[in-house]
A and B are shown apart, each in its own frame.
Chain A
């Protein structure tokens, strides 16, 4: 009986938390779209804002909506390990292909 009360109490708190997280996600996405429209920032600033906004949204969803905040740390470790491999693959591919795109852009020199 007390266990049920605890579950109800915990879930009721989560109810409002989910609303706040959702508002945060909508606000951050709004910022992303608006800064692209007004185009008053430099490319570097835009890139930084978009990167930070994406990271905030990503972390908010996995931490609260996907319950990592309340789950065992092992789940977080497993997911992060997948992210690290994905990130490493992404970075490696981009670096490998930098040479390829440079090769394409520069005309071949005559011997």
Chain B
């Protein structure tokens, strides 16, 4: 499937350039979300965050997301080698791991909201803004993962239509860039939001 690169003035395919520009802007987006979370977390002093977090579950999610990144890298490599069967298997692996990550996040949110009574503005009935920034930050990341899963599912389905061309290897690579970025964001969120509490 590889080859047939379209000539552009930058020498970079337009779709790839657009994706890198989007990812650069998304860095700023997540940068502000993480900043806001850390500030509100410092102010929220009537809450023991260690009691809330489940590091085992979050560590498991982290390993799952790292595994999905390997599958994605191999899917892109397979697409460039025009190895359709291999690409499908690797895309399916990425999607499966992405869904496991989302399931862990849904379980975590449910446990926090119902089991620990951590809502957007309260913790066990007392006013607290920790939940607001935590849910917004991790929820936004979760939405990114969900969008990535939908995107990869669409490519997997498209690969079975028989319409996939060599040029589409570049499109799979662009989807891969997005997926790896989601992984990179979690690489920052995991220590900054979860592990930092144990320092």
Contacts and interface: CB of A to CB of B under 8 A. Distances in A.
Interface residues of B, number: 57
B27 A15 contact: no
B42 interface: yes
B122 interface: no
Interface residues of A, number: 54
B24 A81 contact: yes
Contact of A61 (B67, B173, B187): B187
A22 B66 CA distance: 7
A14 B66 CA distance: 17
Contacts of B77: 11, 14-15, 18
B88 interface: no
Interface stretch (B28-36, B96-104, B134-142, B145-153): B28-36
B16 A29 contact: no
Interface of A: 3-4, 7-8, 11-12, 14-15, 18-19, 21-22, 25-26, 29, 32-33, 36, 39, 43, 46-47, 50-51, 53-54, 57-58, 61-62, 64-67, 71-72, 74-75, 78-79, 81-83, 85-87, 89-90, 93-94, 97, 100-101, 104
